[in-house]
Structure 1
Amino acid sequence: MTHMGKTPPPKGPGFEPTLRQIPIATILPVKQLPITVPKGQKYAQIAASIREAGLIEPLVVARAPGQDGTFILLDGHVRLHVLKEMGEETVTSLVATDDESFTYNKRISRLATIQEHKMILRAIERGVPEARIAAALNVDVALIRRKRTLLNGICPEAAELLKDKHCPVNSFRSLRKMKPLRQIQAAELMIAANNYTVAYTEAILTATDAEDLVDPEMKKETSGITREQAERMKAEMASLQKNIKLIEGTLGPDHLRLVVAGRYVERLLTNERINRYLEKNHGEILGELGRIVAGLSRPEPSSEGPDEADD
């Protein structure tokens, strides 16, 4: 008997409720690390961190379909590589119940600033001294203290927007001088422009009205920027903010249509007859369709270069 019209059962949680100790030999990576990664500074920092403070962030895996006891690695390729070099046999892992539930990690090429901040806080909560963390990350203790207090004065909404972004520590210094609502607007502007530099956040600060600052008395003309330039910058940023809100209204449906269309094209290309016909008669179109399909899951290149690639 069919059940047409009935609401499908709600989807279960994306992860199993408890962490598991999984044999490393049963975990299958989904990509091979470039040979330059183990030679890079970021790799050395991650390796030193694991040796000094242990594995803070668990790996994320999914059960391999049809292979009992085998897991597919979704997030943590560098950490797994380090653990193998250390001779570890098991690793703490979070098991995803759906291997698509963590696909956003394909787009994260290294540890984001706020994620690193949380990692440092966890290490300190576990009793790891700041000096030891600094030694593990090969940085000065003063930088560890700045990263530990990274979100002091930052509203939760702005922190949520920037949680997976690679913002310089000093960019948060400008955000702290703004009131919460302006911090959110600034974070949205940074995301829209894909610009998280100190200079850009200082420009946003310069274009901020005195009433939107934590200390309005600190509002003063920035060296090198005239009042007219600041006013023009403020008008341009207000226009950009308005455009962001307009785009937000259509982003979800547009993305959904893109994914559906892309998957349809992907299915078409798996048809051998269609593939042969296009290859014979429309090779250029076939190439473009192939690029569309490849673009659905291609990770964004890291702005930090190959040495910074993480997971």
Structure 2
Amino acid sequence: MNLHDDSPPGAVRAAFERQTVELPVAVLRPHRPLVASATHCKKFLQVLASVATLGLVEPLVVIQERDAEGYYVVLDGRLRLEAFRRLGKESAICLFATADETYTYNRHVNRLTAGQDARMIAQAVRRGVSQERIAAVLGVNERTVKAKVKLLTGIGHDVAALLADKNCPAATYEILKSMRPLRQLEAAELMCSQDNFSSAFARAIKLATPPEQLIYVPASNEGKDEAVQEQIDRLEREIASLQTKVTDVEERYGVEHMHLAVSLSYVTTLLENKDIRSWLTINAPGHYANLHDSVTLAGPRSRSRQVMR
């Protein structure tokens, strides 16, 4: 085990040792204790079910403890370690880290969206994995697995690709299924442009959809037709107003950014003049400090370095 940085200057330092090791659970200690509620949450129960069914999928990240020889601190994997202890496991596969830091692991983790989760489960079922086994590994009931397998059924390929990495809940997918393919794509593009993937927004889009663009045309209710039409008209006006405001903001931002760039360039040119800089330093030091900070923070770096000299 080599925890020293032997890489040449300028090289990217490896964050882990290349080889995994198997360590006794008794010598592993979490970097901080688990709170009491952590072992009762849904996440821990899923980890416990996964470890019991498949074993350890992702190794624990550890580093040697400084004050106790032969013991190791678990930087990432406290829930997995607790699951191993509760299941009576004697050893665990570990990966040695080269730095004692715990910020990166959970800060830069990519969470699966509902669409990605459903696609992976559906692929596993097509490859012969039983839904009962998937439910046992994930710690959920079989009905949840069946619902995830069918989540993207009826969703167009373009729509699924557009929403694949978006935090789009399962309820939104169910609403999109009631629309025809072209309307599905229009709705998905509208949700992406507004960065709103809630089921309430999807229902509003469905409400504004003409009946011929719906797969299942809702039964008309004469007593509510007028109120529904008013809601549709109001929604269309709000969407048109919002799109107009977004366009106006984009146009004004471009003009204001250009004005700011020109102003900063002019101020930088003034501050590069020794006589002007000397006069400002003596007669208006406060103004000079503000101008200098503005150029340094927002102006071009090369020009800023010249002023700082």
Q: Return the TM-score normalized by structure 1.
A: 0.49
Q: Return the TM-score normalized by structure 2.
A: 0.50
Larger Rg: 2
